[in-house]
């Protein structure tokens, strides 16, 4: 399993931008051996700290989100999300290699939790080291655009998309017990009909010290895209109230949560 660090580690991590390094290839091969992934087809997306690669699985497509094992920047931007998360209490982050794997595992855990709660997210299939495998959202081999790349007037049904975003935001908080933490039109895919929440690495569990700060920011960023059809303060307040509800929760025929028998938006 583990490997010892040697003077050669710098070579091991060398090629990060336009090809996949040895460390990542080994992880992909492992996922293929486990039957999680089939043939690897090629790059389909680029994130700030990850590359997205299209691969086959059974009869369909999946994407591999490959986190770059790039040291310094990674630590700066992500350390604060891991600290303060009760799931990682006691973790000794001894080196960069370990941290990138912790991050990948954390994103997989958050994604799985959101998926189980019925939030519309890519289905998670597995992960190994710095490679996360999930459902590909797109048509044929073309990835769905980000909501940020779609103009409001080009949406088929703005109200529908807005309500779906709000429903998913609420399920994330009330059912999954998570705050996404980096929600914005840049982390929502639009498949021509519905929004999909992606990029769950920054999500925190309820109880995290920054829970409310992140929730407020998520609410503000998504509502702004739609021109604030409801007040962000009001929506934030209602979400917090509904999150505190201790009774049962139902879902109605349109997919709205019923908390104490009532929808978030009437």
Ligand X SMILES: Nc1ncnc2c1ncn2[C@@H]1O[C@H](COP(=O)(O)OP(=O)(O)O)[C@@H](O)[C@H]1O
Where are the alpha helices (H) located in 5-134, listed in sequence order? 9-12, 22-33, 71-82, 96-116
Residue 100 to residue 48: CA distance in whole angstroms:
14
Kind plus residue range of the DSSP H or E element containing 60: strand 60-67
Measured from the CB atom, is 110 or 235 closer to ligand X?
110
Q: Pick from Mg ion, ligand X, none: which does 161 bind, CB < 5 to 8 A by kind?
A: none
Q: Is 124 in the site for ligand X (CB under 6 A)?
A: no
Closer of 146 and 230 to ligand X (Cβ)? 146
List residues binding Mg ion (CB under 5 A): 47, 187, 199
Please, which residue, 218 or 242, has the CB nearer to ligand X? 218
User: How far is CA 131 from each of CA 33, 155, 204, 252, rounded to the nearest angstrom?
Assistant: 14, 33, 20, 36
- Kindly indicate which of the ranges 21-29, 71-79, 196-204, 224-232 contains the residues binding ligand X, using the contact rule CB under 6 A: 196-204
Q: At a CB cut-off of 8 Å and minimum separation 6, what does 212 contact?
A: 240
CB-count burial class (<10 Å; 0-12, 13-18, 19+) for 193 = exposed
Quick check: 85 binds ligand X (CB under 6 A)?
Answer: no
Q: Which stretch binds ligand X (CB under 6 A): 26-34, 68-76, 135-143, 215-223?
A: 135-143
Q: Tell me the helix, strand and coil percentages in the chain, rounded to 5.
A: 40, 20, 40
**Three-class DSSP category at 161:** helix
With respect to ligand X, which residue has the nearer C-beta, 114 or 257? 114
Of 154, 156, 159, 182, the active-site residue reads: 182
How far apart (Å, rounded) are the C-alpha atoms in residues 56 and 222? Answer: 32
Task: List the interface residues with ligand X, window 156-195 (CB under 6 A).
Answer: 187
Q: How far apart are CA 239 and CA 140, in angstroms?
A: 37
Annotated catalytic residue 18:
no
The distance of closest approach from Cβ of residue 11 to ligand X in the complex, given in angstroms and rounded to an integer, is: 25
Q: Considering only 40-48, 74-82, 212-220, 222-230, which stretch makes contact with ligand X by CB under 6 A? A: 40-48
Write down the least CB distance from residue 240 to ligand X, Å. Answer: 26
Residues 207-226: x/- map of binding to ligand X (CB under 6 A)?
--------------------
Q: Which residues bind ligand X (CB under 6 A)?
A: 45, 47-50, 52, 63, 65, 122, 134-138, 143-144, 146, 187, 198-199, 201
The catalytic residues are 182, 199
């Amino acid at each position: 399993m583990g490997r010892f660090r040697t003077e050669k580690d710098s070579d091991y991590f060398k090629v990060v931008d336009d090809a996949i390094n040895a460390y990542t290839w080994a992880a992909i091969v492992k996922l293929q051996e486990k039957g999680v992934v089939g043939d690897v087809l090629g790059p389909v997306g680029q994130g700030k700290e990850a590359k997205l690669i299209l691969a086959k699985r059974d009869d369909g497509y999946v994407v591999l989100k490959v986190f770059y094992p790039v040291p310094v920047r990674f630590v700066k931007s992500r350390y604060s999300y891991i600290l303060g998360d009760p799931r990682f209490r006691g973790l000794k982050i001894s080196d960069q290699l370990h941290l990138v794997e912790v991050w990948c595992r954390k994103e997989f855990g958050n994604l799985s939790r959101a998926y189980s709660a019925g939030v519309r997210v890519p289905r998670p299939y597995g992960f190994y080291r710095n490679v996360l495998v999930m459902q590909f959202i797109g048509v044929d081999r073309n990835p769905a655009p980000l909501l940020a790349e779609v103009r409001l007037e080009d949406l088929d049904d703005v109200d529908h998309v807005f309500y779906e975003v709000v429903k998913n935001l609420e399920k994330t908080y009330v059912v999954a017990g998570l705050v996404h933490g980096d929600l914005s039109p840049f982390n929502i895919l639009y498949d021509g009909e519905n929004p999909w929440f992606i990029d769950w690495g920054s999500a925190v569990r309820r109880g995290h010290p920054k829970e409310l700060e992140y929730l407020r920011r998520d609410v503000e960023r998504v509502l702004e895209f739609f021109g604030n059809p409801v007040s962000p303060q009001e929506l934030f307040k209602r979400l917090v109230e509904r999150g505190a509800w201790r009774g049962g929760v139902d879902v109605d025929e349109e997919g709205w949560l019923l908390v104490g028998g009532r929808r978030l938006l009437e």
